[in-house]
Amino acid sequence: MPRNPSPAVLPAPRLGPPPPPRVPVPLRWTLPNGLRVVAAPMHRVPQVVVRLAIRAGSVFDPPEHPGAASFVGSLMTEGTASFSAEALNARLDLLGAALHASVGHDFAEVEGVFLSETLAEGIALLAEVVARPTFPADETERVRAESLDALVARLDEPANVAEDRVALETFGAGHPYGLPAFGTEEGIAGVPVETLRRFHAEHYLPGGSFLIAAGDFDADELRGLLADAFAGWTGEARTAVYPPLREVPAEAGRDVVVPWVDAAQSEIRFGGIGLDRRAPGWVPAAVANYILGGSTITGRLGANLREDKGWTYGARSTFTPGLAGGGWIAETAVDVEVTADALGEMRAEMRRMSTEPVPADELRRAKDALVLSLPRAFETPARVASRLGTVEAYGLPADYWETHPARVEAVTAEDVLRVSRVHFDPARLVAVVVGAGAGE
């Protein structure tokens, strides 16, 4: 169906100056028990997100029980001194409130998402599950069985196999980051409930922990609620001692192939050693990564593998920071027939990043994208809590996000080349392929 006459051609609009980034400036205080609080009121929707982070990650797993930390996290909401699991769940569900624990390598986090009209009771329940869980035998055994089934089900998915394997290849079995935080079958199957109780008593302590609240609340009211809810909780959590990271993965420069029968695609991962979130190189590295694979379509990896070749739905890369440094990962999934070609193209893009200076225009675009997208990064209570959590977890300066644009702006093409040589040189990275091997 022709459209005649053809519509007019309108000139592209000339844009005015961008709005100055507005970053929430939170309130900070510390409870008498040492719990640090960061509070960012925002009233657009009647929701409050509260995140309590505790130094109780898998790094503290007893060596014979990998997964114990994660198991403790799963049991937080399965019964407390004042509530049976059944009573607690009924109460949370009636309030429309959600409490979820997630345990990573460094921290255990309990997140509460509350309607603002139920905040007071929500905070009280959050404090109750964190400070006074009872690990009832019946619920413990149910969660143990569910966790063991979940470990098996997880390995049905080639992407999960690739994720676990690249971590192992990057960090090695001797580093907590080399193992999944959720542990192993043996670790979870055999851990006695007494060990879980002891883990909780030793690690779930307010000193060293922090709580972020973002959303629709009055800061003075929150101050009172937190003081009451956490009054009886005392103690100082230990800091973890991590083994040193390798310089490069043991199999750097090589392909590790995990065969997968009848794979529709090959899952490809490149893994390498990243850098400390607090390091001065972090921001240049973030800019460099943005150019290589920060955006799944317009990054160099996505532009090549997806937009130019049509081999994949997307390709991306990211730094994965942790308290002990961290990693870097590039990922895609491609047609099995082009597995070897895709590995070659990815290595070529990484090599180009680590040998040629990035053109000025591409650098400009990356900086603008990173700085001008800040309002979106702080749009919702959940996102604000996440960004402020980063500042607390790594002990970054309180004005970190306010001063972030200036740090991005200062990055030069030489900076990008320097960090790319360290982090994107294919000789310093291990490749994991789950699916058809590169030689097939």
Partner 1 sequence: MLTLKPLRIPSRTHVLANGLRVIAHEDPSSPLVTVHLMYHVGSKDEAPGRTGLAHLLEHLMFEGSEHAPKGDFDDLLERVGGTNNGSTWLDRTNYYETVPTHAVELALWLERDRMAHFLPVLDAEMLETQRGVVINERRQSYENRPYGMADERLHQMLFAPEHPYSWPTIGYVPDLEAVTLDDARTFYSTYYTAGNAVLVVAGDVTAERAFELAAHYFGDLPRGPVIPRVSLDAAAVPAAPAIRRETMPDEVSFPRAYLGWAVAPYGSREWVALDVLAYLLGDGESSRLQRALVREGRLAQEVDTYLYPTERCGVFGVVATSRTGVAVETLEDTVRRVLDEVAAGGVTEDEVTGAIRRVRADQVAEMAMLEERADSLAYAATVLGSAEKLEELMDAYATVTPEEVSRAAAAWLGAERCATLMVVPAGDAEVRDAA
Residue ranges in 282-311 that form contacts with partner 1 under rule CB under 8 A: 295, 297-298, 303, 306-311
Pick the closer one to partner 1 by CB: 28 or 154. 154
Residue 232, classified by CB atoms within 10 Å of its CB into exposed (0-12), middle (13-18) or buried (19+), is: exposed
CB of 376 to partner 1, least distance (A): 6
Q: Based on the shown chain and the rule CB under 8 A, indicate whether residue 241 belongs to the binding site for partner 1.
A: no
Q: Report how many residues bind partner 1 under the rule CB under 8 A.
A: 84
Least Å distance, CB 175 to partner 1, is 29
- Looking at beta carbons only, is 97 or 430 nearer to partner 1? 97
Which of these ranges, 4-12, 67-75, 244-252, 279-287, lies near partner 1 under the rule CB under 8 A?
A: 4-12
φ/ψ of 161, rounded to 5, equals -60, -40
Chain-centre distance of CA 240, in angstroms? 19
C-beta of 20 vs 244, nearer to partner 1: 20
Write down the least CB distance from residue 151 to partner 1, Å: 10
Window 97 to 126, contacts with partner 1 (CB under 8 A): 97-98, 113, 115, 117-118
Q: Please calculate the CA angle 103-165-199 and round it to the nearest 5 degrees.
A: 25
* DSSP state for residue 71 in the 8-state scheme: H
Min CB(294)–partner 1 separation in Å: 10
Does 258 engage in binding with partner 1 (CB under 8 A)?
Answer: no
Element (H, E) at 174: none
- Least separation, in Å, of the C-beta of 110 and partner 1? 15
Q: Does 232 contact partner 1 by CB under 8 A?
A: no
74 binds partner 1 (CB under 8 A): no
Binding string, residues 358-397; x marks residues near partner 1 by CB under 8 A: ------xx--xx-xxxxxx-xxxxx---------------
Q: Among the candidate windows 11-19, 190-198, 236-244, 420-428, which touches partner 1 by CB under 8 A?
A: 11-19
| 142 forms part of the interface with partner 1 (CB under 8 A) | yes
Q: For the chain, what's the residue count?
A: 440
Nearer to partner 1, 56 or 268 (CB): 268
25 binds partner 1 (CB under 8 A): no
Alpha helices (runs of H) in 132-258, residue ranges in sequence order: 137-154, 158-171, 185-190, 193-203, 219-229
Residue for token pair 């959600």: 98
**152: amino acid identity, one letter:** V
- CA triple 389-30-74, angle to 5 deg: 50
For residue 39, list its beta bridge partners: 27, 213
Query: To the nearest whole angstrom, how small is the minimum distance from the Cβ of residue 232 to partner 1?
Result: 26
Residues 157-186 that bind partner 1 (CB under 8 A): 157-158
Residue-by-residue DSSP string for 268-321: EEEEEE---TTSTTHHHHHHHHIIIIISTTTSHHHIIIIIIT--EEEEEEEEEE
What one-letter code names the amino acid at 351?
Answer: R
